[in-house]
Amino acid sequence: MTRIGLDETANAARETPFARLSRMHVAHRETFLFENLSIQTGGAVSVRLPDLERKFLDERRGGYCFEHNTLFAAALADAGFAPVTLLGRVRRGPPERWCRTHMVLKVRGAGVKGTAVQRAGVQSAAGPDDECWLADVGFGGLGLLEPIPLRDGASSLQGGIEYTLRRDGHLWVLSMRDAGGDAMPGTSRSRIISRRRTPNRCSAAR
């Protein structure tokens, strides 16, 4: 928390769970860079927490989605949340290239350990701090600045980009458009997929 400029003891007691989740999400995005230099140079990439802590905290580097969201999930767990890791496909180019190469997080907003829902999309009707949220600190420049509610039709305007989440069978589709309603150039959508329900292979998304 110190590395991303947050003092949990000063704020946690007086803010809502979602406010804390959002603040942590924004702080992570503002602190750590998205970079894949290790991959490009043939270096080893580890998603073990001690290795990520050394790379991000001690060496003050960044990483790619699996590194970012693994580290963020650990921080959320320490703060009392119960994150669940999901895999996604970035829908760019022909369908045969829509591989499960991205990682995101589903977060229960209640901020209580052990309350992670077991099925993507199941949520409480009790209010915004009891529902599930999609968090993703590892997509780079066009990624979410703040979490978005994990519910069909949820939308959020962040940094001039409108993010909309739609349910498509057992999948979720996150689309990005600019403030004028036009699709972002060079991008389309990310399909968010639970790794427990989908075979781990690269194939065209249905």
- Structural fold of domain 8-193: Arylamine N-acetyltransferase fold (3.30.2140)
What is the separation, in whole angstroms, between the first and last Cα of the chain? 40
DSSP 101-114: EEEEEEEETT--TT
Strand pairing partners for 120? Answer: none
Domains of the chain, by residue range, sit at 8-193
Tokens 């140079």 -> residue = 41
Number of Cβ atoms within 10 Å of the Cβ of 22: 18
Contact 72, 66 (CB under 8 A): no
pTM for the model stands at: 0.76
Contact 130, 14 (CB under 8 A): no
136 is catalytic: yes
Q: Which of 25, 65, 68, 132 is catalytic?
A: 65
The pLDDT, as a whole number, for residue 186 is 45
Q: What is the CA radius of gyration of the chain?
A: 17
pLDDT tens across 151-176, in order?
A: 999 999 998 889 999 998 888 999 88
Tokens 């997509």 -> residue = 139
pLDDT tens across 93-108, in order?
A: 776 667 788 999 999 8
Contact 132, 107 (CB under 8 A): yes
Q: Which of 102, 130, 132, 182 is catalytic?
A: 102
132 is catalytic: no
Closest CA to 195 of 90, 100, 75: 100
170 is catalytic: no
